[in-house]
Amino acid sequence: MSEQNYEDFISTVSHELRTPLTSIRGFSQTMLSSWDKLDDTSKKKFIKIIEEQSNRLISLVENMLSVTKLQSDKDTYIYKETDAPSIINTVISLVKSQYPDKTFETEFAQNAPTILVDRDKFQQVMMNLIENAAKYSCGNDSIKISAGFCDECDFLSVKVSNVGIKIEKEDFEKIFTKFSRIDNPLTRKVQGSGLGLYITKSIVDKMSGKISVSSEDCGNNRANTVFEVRFPVSNVETQAREKCKQ
């Protein structure tokens, strides 16, 4: 990292850390100084804010550790034959517990091949994409996750789609870069550090996969946004398919 990039990184990180910390300090101070004057509802509201801001700090620190790890040689990948749908189902139940009002639909091809990936890293990728779909969707449409074989290549394609605010074409590249968030009314309302997709793309690239996005208007000022990731099918799987073709 160049000195200028390093300085920019430190200044963005400090800013990102300061916002939740200031809020935690402010609400704790208010409660300590006005404890007897506050009713139970207000106390509960303030404690809820402190909890949310602490969660924000934890996810920020975890994301920053992931970024640092990505840049070091110690970040080892252990490739194993992996059944994508079972990991995706685990991730969905984790996201569902965070977003109980959201609904999820899955469509896994019966012949979905196993892929050759680091399982923890694959889980991290799915977590970022499915969490984003829940975070940035509006209305009652379900979040859809599908997995199937790409016929033209030896890849498994996983698609995560949601209905929400449109991502403009000119932002398609930007969202995969460090600390980038799109400024719109919904993103302003939800918290995020703008690191999730940067980490996701770096992991996908390292595992010889591909990531792409599309966002098409679907009426009511909303868009259907689809993130697609493709991962190489495991060798065992490819050989079995070749045999079937013979």
Ligand X SMILES: Nc1ncnc2c1ncn2[C@@H]1O[C@H](COP(=O)(O)OP(=O)(O)OP(=O)(O)O)[C@@H](O)[C@H]1O
Binding site for ligand X (CB under 6 A): 59, 63, 128, 132-133, 136, 162, 164-165, 167, 175, 180-182, 187, 192-198, 225
**What are all long-range contacts of 205-210, with beta carbons under 8 Å and residues at least 24 apart?**
206/70, 206/77, 206/121, 207/77, 207/79, 207/117, 207/118, 207/121, 207/122, 207/231, 207/232, 208/232, 209/117, 209/155, 210/155
Residue 146 interacting entry, from Mg ion, ligand X, none, C-beta within 5 to 8 Å by type: none
Give the residue nearest to Mg ion (CB): 196
Q: How far separated are the first and last CA of the chain, in Å rounded?
A: 51
Q: Which is nearer to Mg ion, 136 or 231 (CB)?
A: 136
Residue 39 half-sphere exposure, CB side, CA atoms within 13 Å?
1
Smallest separation, CB 92 to ligand X (Å): 15
Rounded least distance, CB 196 to ligand X, Å: 2
Q: Which does 95 bind (CB under 5 to 8 A by kind): ligand X, Mg ion, none?
A: none
Q: Which CB atom, from 119 or from 174, has the smaller least distance to ligand X?
A: 174
Closest to Mg ion by CB, 132 vs 202, is: 132
User: Going by DSSP bridges, is the β-strand pair 104-108/143-150 parallel, antiparallel, or unpaired?
Assistant: parallel
Report the interface residues with Mg ion, using CB under 5 A. Answer: 132, 196
Bridge partners, residue 164, by sequence? 137, 223
CB 179, CB 12: distance < 8 Å: yes
The Cα 101–Cα 132 span in angstroms is 15
Closest CA to 206 of 114, 118, 80: 118
Least separation in angstroms between residue 89's CB and ligand X is: 20
Least CB distance from residue 109 to Mg ion, whole Å?
27
Q: Which does 66 bind (CB under 5 to 8 A by kind): ligand X, Mg ion, none?
A: none
Q: Of 157 and 202, which CB lies nearer to ligand X in the complex structure?
A: 202
Considering beta carbons, is residue 132 or 234 the nearer one to Mg ion? 132
Picked from ligand X, Mg ion, none, the partner binding residue 194 (CB below 5 to 8 A depending on kind) is ligand X
CB 37, CB 11: distance < 8 Å: no
Which of ligand X, Mg ion, none does residue 20 bind to, with CB < 5 to 8 Å depending on kind?
none
Considering CB distances under 5 to 8 angstroms, the limit depending on partner class, which of Mg ion, ligand X, none binds residue 209?
A: none
**Distance in Å, CB of 192 to ligand X, minimum:** 3
In the complex with ligand X, the residue whose CB is nearer, 114 or 225, is: 225
For the CB of residue 29, give the shortest distance to ligand X in the complex, in Å: 27
- Other Cβ atoms less than 10 A from the Cβ of 204: the count is 21
C-alpha angle 114/117/120, rounded to 5°?
Answer: 115
